[in-house]
Structure 1
Amino acid sequence: MKNMISALMLSTALMIGAGTSAFAQDKTIKIGNLTDMSGLYADVGGPGSTLAAQMAVEDSGLTKKGWKIDVIAADHQNKPDVGTTTTRQWLDVEKVDVVVDVLNSGVALAVKNVVTEKNAIMINSGAASSDLTNSQCSPNVVHWVYDTYMLANSTGTALVKAGGDSWFFLTADYAFGAALERDTTTAVTKAGGKILGSVKHPLNSSDFSSFLLQAQASKAKIVGLANAGGDTTNSIKQAAEFGIVKGGQRLAGLLMFISDVNSLGLNVAQGLNFTETFYWDLNDGTRAFSKRFSERSKNKAPPTMVQAGVYSGLMHYFKTLEAMGGNSHDGAKIVAKMKETPTDDPLFGKGSIQPNGRKIHPAYLFEVKKPSESKGPWDYYKLVGTTPAEQAFRPLSESVCPLVKK
């Protein structure tokens, strides 16, 4: 009897061992770029994020080592229901392992629930809501690049210290705008400023006249634009027509991208201050990558920080899977390993991933150059200040994420 039990235990152990070995040797990966392909954020992420993902696959060197890696993409149309339906299809049928980009906070917060339920992975570089790593954190999510807390902390605090101590917000009426206004309000009041009012506008607006008139009437020193993409560029262009800056008020682009500055042109955008965590001309590493990217980009533009984040996040993911010896397809387990491993790449430098899933790195306050200061195409920014990684994002001591041990 003892011999039979021993033989059975040995057989079971061998089967488990064989299964584990086969699992560890699985070298297939499928990446889904869920983004805005045709709307107001298409230049921020869109096809450029798909290109960034493809470049990460190539630069990882894994395919030369026998790995099979596929990249697919879909347009969520800035609709949470479209995003979740696409994600379920990807995870259930297409066997996607990791969802990237996920521009639009409303979409990302909804997709996060699906990814968590299915134990997949979301490496978000597009959505800004800081709730993704705070009140709605998940063991399956890593938030790369930026968030509303960081943007508010950097831009809001700097402008108050520079004398902009009264604010009025133009806010996109969905999860992202609400989070950005909330976090900026906290930063401004903490720095000694006051909020005189705010007005919400629909996503993808074309006419900002009534909203701008309210901002003008408030007499606030700073008009904070808690929106992004086409909404930001449209509001800035129309603010110029209303003479808001000439009248003594300043515009604060709380989330802006180099594609926005290019759309505005330096004549309109000059003097704007905002925060980014990536700029193509920041150092040798960013310049080398951006040159390769722009050569392959359809519009020959350098990468936005969202697109740079897709590349950077996937490079860390690939390094983690290689170190683990294969793809277990266990999202939470892989993300846990990603958090244990220090991050380091040419685009964002050295950093780390906190227990709440927040990737931290330095944040840079830029000012848009005057036309006379620009030396060539896409030479748009001058660096005003740098916030160290450990100061840029929400301190863990203030986190309400249950993944953070107090």
Structure 2
Amino acid sequence: MMLNRRTLLQAGAASALPLGGARAQAARTIKIGVLTDMSGSYRDLNGPTTVACTRLAVQEFGAHGFETEVVVADHQNKPDVALNIARQWFDRDGVDMVVSLAASSVALAVAELAREKNKVAIANSTATSDLTGKNCTPNTIHWVFDTYMLAKSTGAATVRAGGDTWFFVTADYAFGHSLERDTIAFVNAAGGRVVGQVRTPFPGTTDFSSYLLQAQASRAKVIGLANAGTDTVNCIKQAAEFGITRRGIKLASMLMFLPDVHSLGLQTAQGLVCTESFYWDLNDRTRAFTRRVHAVAGQVALCMNHAGDYSSTLHYLKAVASLGVQAAKASGADTVARMKAMPTDDDAFGTGSIRPDGRKIHPAFLFEVKKPEESRGAFDYYKLLQTTPAEEAFRPLSEGGCPLVRA
């Protein structure tokens, strides 16, 4: 974690307070923990930019009768590491809310711990739709996207475009399994069929050649990549090296982000389709938000995960201000209930809402990656193909199996 001069001064002032003064200060301080991938496969999709966006939300919210402190940790995409950190944060360090979470296995584990400790967990770069389904809790909100949304937007559109036979290359953990499952449902519903699938170890796989060759041998029209981050980038690069797309096979990246396109380059990524719920160049508000992020984080490629860290942190702080800091610190479930009761509105996602199952609702956008000659400058990578309205983008509330909804 990087400490700036202001943070150091605040820490020094706190250490100089008498014990009673320190306790009083802690009682009026909301503590947010950014628990994310700072060094692994999802670093570019989270990492320092996630931290910058969270801090930007805190800065822009300002003081409303309480202080806000941000702490940061790298969970290395390992649930056991994440649980150890989160448990220490909750039990010893007074953290009230954890944000980001990234890997689905991490988010599922931390969400249950947050329920046990009555804290708040907000998953922004997490895909599994089980967070608002069988694993929903009154202490968790799923903000940015999920496997159902991705499968409906990208998977169904690919089948309608003629890609009716699929082979899946799937990351072998909760996220990959969930994304594959949800996409298969939409492929079948659209009249397509799955001719094969292979699971790739996560983390640690860098050579996807044998998996891609199996996919090619299946004669599927579409190779569905149910992975993310560097796994997706490596798959697309290696598929290009083998000339797979030149043979008429389409790659469907079920979860690809602007930083992935930036890493691949337009020459390699052109023509790929993907779904995001945020793009920096959508409208005046998203462009203004992006300028503010670039002012504090440098010229980075922003994606929906980063926008979600800003948006969810800002809404959480609004709920704390509405509920009262003492009540918010006393009950994460009450804080989440207040977040659900309040409409959402910010420059990254515009207006929206949070359902009883914890699902944040907003539109989903299907993009196609531009050709190099179509790009007008830095990060001008997407052209919009279609928009799925907020009320249609996510799984119907009645179909998720969330115990909160049945109750």
- TM normalised by structure 1 equals 0.92
Match of 1:265 in 2: 265
The residue type paired with residue 229 of structure 1 is: G
| In structure 2, distance between residues paired with 1:325 and 1:218 | 59
Match of 2:103 in 1: 104
Identity %: 58
Match of 2:74 in 1: 75
Match of 1:342 in 2: 343
The residue type paired with residue 232 of structure 2 is: T
- TM normalised by structure 2 equals 0.91
Q: How does 1:119-268 map to 2 (within 5 A)?
A: 119-203=118-202, 204-268=204-268
The residue type paired with residue 380 of structure 1 is: Y
Instruction: Please state if 1:283 is matched with 2:283.
Output: yes
Match of 1:296 in 2: 296
| In structure 2, distance between residues paired with 1:295 and 1:222 | 40
| In structure 1, distance between residues paired with 2:178 and 2:155 | 14
On the 8 A contact 2:28/2:66 being kept in 1, the answer is: yes
| In structure 2, distance between residues paired with 1:296 and 1:302 | 13
| In structure 1, distance between residues paired with 2:46 and 2:212 | 28
Match of 1:392 in 2: 393
SS at match of 1:78: coil
Match of 1:7 in 2: none
Cα-Cα RMSD = 1.5
On the 8 A contact 1:293/1:302 being kept in 2, the answer is: no
Match of 2:35 in 1: 34
On the 8 A contact 1:360/1:393 being kept in 2, the answer is: yes
Q: How does 1:366-405 map to 2 (within 5 A)?
A: 366-405=367-406
Deviates more, 1:138-147 or 1:108-117: 108-117
| In structure 2, distance between residues paired with 1:302 and 1:101 | 17
The residue type paired with residue 155 of structure 2 is: G
Distance 1:93 1:26, change over 3 A: closer
Q: How does 1:16-27 map to 2 (within 5 A)?
A: 27=28
SS at match of 1:167: strand
Q: Mind listing any 5+ residue stretches in structure 1 that lack a counterpart?
A: 1-22
On the 8 A contact 1:294/1:302 being kept in 2, the answer is: no
- State the 1:403 CA deviation: 0.5
| In structure 1, distance between residues paired with 2:353 and 2:65 | 28
The residue type paired with residue 197 of structure 2 is: S
On the 8 A contact 1:29/1:327 being kept in 2, the answer is: no
| In structure 1, distance between residues paired with 2:342 and 2:278 | 21
SS at match of 1:94: coil
SS at match of 2:246: coil
| In structure 1, distance between residues paired with 2:265 and 2:326 | 45
SS at match of 1:219: coil
Deviates more, 1:322-331 or 1:122-131: 322-331
| In structure 1, distance between residues paired with 2:122 and 2:227 | 22
- State the 1:365 CA deviation: 0.0
- State the 1:302 CA deviation: 3.6
On the 8 A contact 1:29/1:70 being kept in 2, the answer is: yes
On the 8 A contact 2:30/2:325 being kept in 1, the answer is: no
| In structure 1, distance between residues paired with 2:289 and 2:168 | 36
On the 8 A contact 1:294/1:303 being kept in 2, the answer is: no
Residues matched between the structures, number:
381
| In structure 2, distance between residues paired with 1:324 and 1:109 | 26
The residue type paired with residue 108 of structure 2 is: L
Match of 1:60 in 2: 61
| In structure 2, distance between residues paired with 1:173 and 1:240 | 23
The residue type paired with residue 278 of structure 2 is: F
- State the 1:267 CA deviation: 0.2
Deviates more, 1:393-402 or 1:363-372: 393-402
Instruction: Please state if 1:86 is matched with 2:85.
Output: yes
Match of 2:356 in 1: 355
| In structure 2, distance between residues paired with 1:93 and 1:169 | 43
On the 8 A contact 1:45/1:304 being kept in 2, the answer is: no
| In structure 2, distance between residues paired with 1:219 and 1:335 | 48
1:248-272 superposed Cα distances (whole Å, 9 cap, x missing partner): 0000110011100000000000000
| In structure 2, distance between residues paired with 1:176 and 1:232 | 13
| In structure 2, distance between residues paired with 1:41 and 1:375 | 27
SS at match of 2:102: coil
- State the 1:341 CA deviation: 1.0
Q: Mind listing any 5+ residue stretches in structure 2 that lack a counterpart?
A: 1-23
- State the 1:91 CA deviation: 0.3
SS at match of 1:246: helix
- State the 1:26 CA deviation: 5.4
- State the 1:99 CA deviation: 0.3
